[in-house]
Amino acid sequence: MHRHSRNLTSIAQLIEASDLSARVKQTALAIFGRLAQAEAGVHGTSIEAVHFHEVGAVDSIVDIVGAAIGLEHLGIDRLFASALPMVNGQVNTQHGLLPLPAPATLALLASANAPVVPSEARVELVTPTGAAILATLATFEQPAMSITQVGIGAGRREMPWPNVMRLIVGQAGPETGGGLVQIETNIDDMNPQVFGFVMQRLFAAGALDVFFAPIHMKKDRPGTLVGVIARRADEPALARILLEETSTLGVRVLSIEHRHEAQREMRLARTEYGDVPVKIKLLDGAIAGASPEYDVCARLAAEQGVPVRRVIEAALAACRLT
């Protein structure tokens, strides 16, 4: 069967050119970036030189993007995973027979310190795609929560045990709370191209906000302050991303006593140029501000051949009328 071969740049272009939401794009790009890192390490090459074969095929792109869409659709803020099965056997790949777990899968699980349990299976139960999703998004522990929904998916392969995966959705319990923190680090010796990827990974791992600010550091060096606003429970995972992905040797964590938040909701503004999602800011039930999704406005402006500000103004006007 013919398999497509794509590199990270071509996959990123496909995702960026899509009509997906900004959050879905960030999540999918972060997963593919994590996967490219693992493949580059396994093959001893650069991320730019990695060519995805099985993983670059359309079905696997759909798997990763579909996972990102599903998490957004269900309103999932944090993802947890149980220990994963450690199997034996071999798998046939573009590079020939490889031992299980596949090298890229092992590299991904190792990078996330994922717990594994022995399994008698001699078939692939955790693919590189699945490992990349979990390594990028999941914390490997069991949270305290109130269960609200349960989903079950059955695999096609017959196994001596139930071949099912369960997704349990719930509301966070008191042990998963603990307030907010601001994680910071100063960087003056890193390729600036890396900052965008770091931001994608941080948002995909649960960061509430990420910001960069220019600063002046010792020895008259210009630098960048990287700041992350996050839930306290997400602090370890986000700090690790900063240590893994940047040149920093350490991060500092500041407690946020509390913050004041406006109510918000999403509305669909119907304009002459097309439909635009708009984030509405509410104070005491009254509209206090509105922010159209810029990516959608930019796409519609390009399609209609009009200035993007005109689409933004049309979306704001439509919101005032609804």
Q: What is the CATH number of domain 263-321?
A: 3.10.20.300
Q: Which of 190, 206, 284, 275 is nearest to 19 (CA)?
A: 275
Give the N- to C-terminal CA distance of the chain in Å, as an integer: 52
Quickly list H helices, the chain: 8-16, 22-43, 58-74, 103-111, 128-137, 194-204, 235-245, 294-304, 308-321
Helix (H, G, I), strand (E, B) or coil at 220: helix
The answer, as to whether pTM is greater than 0.95, is: no
Q: Give the pLDDT confidence score for residue 178 in this predicted structure.
A: 58
Domain ranges of the chain: 6-142, 180-256, 263-321
Decide if 46 contacts 9 (C-beta within 8 A). no
Residue 111 · residue 131 · CB < 8 Å: no
Q: What is the pLDDT of residue 2?
A: 44
CATH value of 180-256 in 3.30.300.30, 3.30.70.1380, 3.90.78.10, 3.40.47.10: 3.30.70.1380
> How high is the pLDDT of residue 57?
63
Token pair 């493949």 in the structure block, residue: 39
- Tens place of pLDDT per residue across the chain (322 aa): 444 567 888 888 888 888 888 889 989 988 988 888 888 888 787 777 777 765 556 777 889 999 999 998 888 888 999 999 998 887 776 667 778 888 889 999 998 889 999 988 888 889 889 999 999 998 888 887 888 899 999 988 888 888 899 999 988 655 444 578 999 999 999 999 999 999 989 998 889 999 999 999 988 889 999 999 998 888 888 999 999 999 999 999 998 877 777 887 778 888 999 888 888 888 887 888 889 989 889 999 999 999 999 999 999 998 775 5
